[in-house]
């Protein structure tokens, strides 16, 4: 489990196809504290660490299955690509965002951006099947970042990115056409499921 609070921006160092896609990711985390088998959210996708190294720069490796590649934007990664990272939640950690599983539901696309004061207002378009789970003032995780929904209009929804969020995530360079991993709020998913039986 994660909180959607991005704590590092990683960088893809290598990509290799070995059945699955294997990615080596540079990180500012102390890799000596990362166990093999640990979970790290990479652009919002919970991935398992399969190797680490601290020299000459710290990195970890993950294996990405075909299923994950088909449901996320990870198939578009290139060497040098910047990635939002978050280590798994520990008991007693501050829950600053919302409960995020790292199980991506689909891909959303940036429709438009516009400055709003010091912030940036961004409109995303969700897949039709997921739109009903997104509510004004609710939460979504986009590329692993916990964000508050401002407004909803059909499958479109708006997010306001404050300067801090733009600085500490990969959303500083956001532009129309960008595709992002979308995880809907777990509570919304279960409420909708329960309503099917009401």
pLDDT confidence of residue 66:
94
Other C-beta atoms lying within 10 Å of the C-beta of residue 167: 11
- 79 and 126 fall within a common domain: no
Asked if residue 110 and residue 191 are part of one domain, the reply reads yes
Total domains in the chain come to 2
Residues 81 and 112 in one domain: no
pLDDT tens digits in sequence order for the chain, 198 residues long: 899 999 999 999 999 988 899 999 999 999 999 999 999 999 999 999 999 999 888 999 999 999 999 999 999 999 999 999 999 988 777 777 888 999 999 999 999 999 999 999 999 999 999 999 999 999 999 999 999 999 999 999 999 999 999 999 999 989 999 999 999 988 777 777 777 776
Q: What is the pLDDT of residue 198?
A: 67
Q: What is the pTM of this model?
A: 0.93
Asked whether 147 and 164 are in contact (CB, 8 A), the reply is no
Q: Are residues 190 and 112 in the same domain?
A: yes
For residue 43, give the CATH number of its domain: 2.40.30.20
Q: How far apart are CA 6 and CA 86, in angstroms?
A: 5
Residue 105: per-residue pLDDT: 95
Kindly report the length of the chain. Answer: 198
Q: Are 113 and 64 contained in the same domain?
A: no
Q: Is the domain of 74 the same as that of 120?
A: no
Residue 96 lies in a domain: no
Domain that residue 35 falls in: 8-87
From residue 39, alpha-carbon distances to 72, 92, 96, 112, 125 in Å are 17, 17, 19, 33, 29
- Does residue 50 lie within any of the structural domains? yes
**Residue 121 included in any domain:** yes
pLDDT at position 24 is: 98
pLDDT given at position 63: 96
Domain boundary among 52, 87, 122: 87
User: Are 76 and 127 found together in one domain?
Assistant: no
Q: Is residue 123 part of a domain?
A: yes
What is the distance between the alpha carbons of residues 58 and 30, in angstroms, rounded to a whole number? Answer: 7
Note whether 35 and 63 are same-domain residues.
yes
């Amino acid at each position: 489990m994660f909180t959607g609070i991005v704590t590092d921006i990683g960088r893809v160092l290598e990509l290799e196809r070995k059945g699955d896609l294997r990615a080596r990711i540079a990180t500012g985390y102390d890799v000596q504290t990362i166990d093999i088998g640990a979970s790290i959210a990479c652009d919002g996708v919970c991935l398992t660490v399969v190797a680490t190294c601290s020299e000459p720069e710290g990195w970890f490796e993950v294996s990405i299955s075909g299923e994950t590649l088909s449901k996320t934007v990870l198939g578009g990664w290139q060497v040098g690509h910047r990635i939002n990272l978050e280590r798994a939640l520990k008991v007693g950690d501050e829950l600053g965002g919302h409960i995020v599983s790292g199980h991506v539901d689909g891909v959303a696309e940036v429709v438009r951006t516009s400055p709003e004061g010091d912030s940036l207002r961004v409109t995303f378009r969700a897949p039709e099947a997921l739109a009903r789970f997104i509510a004004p003032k609710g939460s979504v995780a986009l590329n692993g970042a916990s964000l508050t929904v401002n407004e909803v209009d059909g499958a479109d929804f708006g997010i306001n990115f404050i300067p801090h969020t733009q600085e500490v995530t990969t959303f500083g360079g956001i532009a129309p056409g960008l595709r992002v991993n979308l995880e809907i709020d777990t509570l919304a998913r279960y409420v909708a499921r329960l309503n099917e039986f009401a």
